[in-house]
Amino acid sequence: MKKKVKVGLIFGGRSAEHAISLNSAAAIYQHLDKERYEPFLIYINRAGEWCLTGNISFNEQELKKESFNSFMPWSSRLAETVDADIYFPVLHGPNGEDGRIQGLFEMAGKPFVGAGSFSSQLAMDKVAAKMLFAQAGLQQAPFLFFTENNPEQIGELVAKKLGFPVFVKPSSLGSSVGIRKARETGELLAAADLAFSYDIKIIIEKAIDMREIEVSVMGNEEIMVSSPGELLPAKEFYDYADKYLDGKTRFRIPVRLGEEIEARVKKTAHKAYRSLFLNGFARVDLFLEKESDAILVNEINTIPGFTAISMFPKLWEAQGISFAQLLDRLIAYGFAHFRNRRENVDEGLGH
């Protein structure tokens, strides 16, 4: 019998998306082909402590009770935890999707699933990502960014360069945390205060009258782009409660936009993925501007929601790639990227 591949699933984590991570990890665990893979479950609690668990309920209360194996800081835990063949960080948002844990695997010389640390950081930082999207010639909502909370300057520049309404966002957070729509200067300055309470850089974008289109992308040197899906938000904008609490958001998977628009959507997503030097997989979020039919890039999520009903796996399923097959591919991309990097970069540099 062939030896099973040990996959270290890492989930939970210190982010607002802790609970979603548990759902994503549960779905991934459930769909992993146990004939081929031996999953190891590494749970990170909200305090950032790591625990190797055998608990497959993926229930936070249950996980908290782990007594046979107490929580430890990551540094001691990673060294003595299972020596997995490949790690799969199933962590959404800061401290998981933002390149930090990816850097840890790179330091440890371990293969892992998904984007490397540098691309993950670029994707997490809206200002950095927007600059690279612009450089790649991609269209996006007109924006300004600020590193200083100077109300006079913000008010003046926004009125002059963007006009209202605008969206005000912390540069790197996710889950719509700290994001507000502002219709006039008073709201703008309050929204800037809020965004600055979360981050040292904020981004202000012109509000676009649009349809929210998302596509799944995967691959390293050669990449595949799925057909698009659409988000149909229940409220005025897709906020945290909408996404995760009310469960009111509806998806249209796949969405028929007509050949010409679909081709542009795919081309844009392909370019956007390349422009952040991505590998592994990602979900690219786009705006289809209603008035012009222009495709604008909004953002790239390098560890998108991965529950059985999430957009990322559902879009592949619509193309005939099952959840289990998707996991096979993502793991294979992780190994391939690792080998390629080792052969061409690390050894080339004599490391």
Number of H helices and E strands in the chain, helices first, is: 12, 14
Distance from C-alpha of 254 to C-alpha of 321, rounded to nearest angstrom = 13
Output the smallest distance, CB 287 to Mg ion, in A. 10
* Piece in contact with ligand ATP (CB under 6 A), picked from 45-53, 219-227, 294-302, 325-333: 294-302
Cβ nearer to Mg ion, comparing 9 with 191: 191
Q: From Mg ion, ligand ATP, none, which one binds at residue 167 (CB under 5 to 8 Å depending on kind)? A: ligand ATP
Decide if residue 253 touches ligand ATP (CB under 6 A).
Answer: no
Specify the DSSP class assigned to residue 270: H
Distance from C-alpha of 239 to C-alpha of 287, rounded to nearest angstrom = 16
Binding mask 264-303 for Mg ion (x = CB under 5 A): ---------------------x------------------
Q: In sequence order, what DSSP letters do the residues of 93-127 get, joined into one string? A: STTTTSSHHHHHHHHHT--BSS--HHHHHHHH-HH
Q: From Mg ion, ligand ATP, none, which one binds at residue 279 (CB under 5 to 8 Å depending on kind)? A: none
Decide if residue 205 touches ligand ATP (CB under 6 A).
Answer: yes
Output the smallest distance, CB 212 to Mg ion, in A. 8
Decide if residue 207 touches ligand ATP (CB under 6 A).
Answer: yes
Question: DSSP strand E in the chain: where?
Answer: 5-12, 37-44, 50-53, 86-90, 143-146, 166-170, 180-182, 202-206, 210-219, 223-225, 229-232, 250-252, 281-289, 295-301
Cβ nearer to ligand ATP, comparing 85 with 212: 212
Contact 206, 140 (CB under 8 A): no
The token pair that represents 82 in the structure block = 């299972």
Decide if residue 208 touches ligand ATP (CB under 6 A).
Answer: yes
Decide if residue 175 touches ligand ATP (CB under 6 A).
Answer: yes
Decide if residue 24 touches ligand ATP (CB under 6 A).
Answer: no
The token pair that represents 145 in the structure block = 């960014």
Q: From ligand ATP, Mg ion, none, which one binds at residue 120 (CB under 5 to 8 Å depending on kind)? A: none
Q: Positive or negative, the Cα torsion across 197, 198, 202, 204?
A: negative
Decide if residue 176 touches ligand ATP (CB under 6 A).
Answer: yes
User: Which spans of this chain sit near Mg ion (rule: CB under 5 A)?
Assistant: 285
User: Which spans of this chain sit near ligand ATP (rule: CB under 6 A)?
Assistant: 141, 167, 169, 173-176, 179, 205, 207-208, 212, 233, 237-238, 285, 298-299, 301
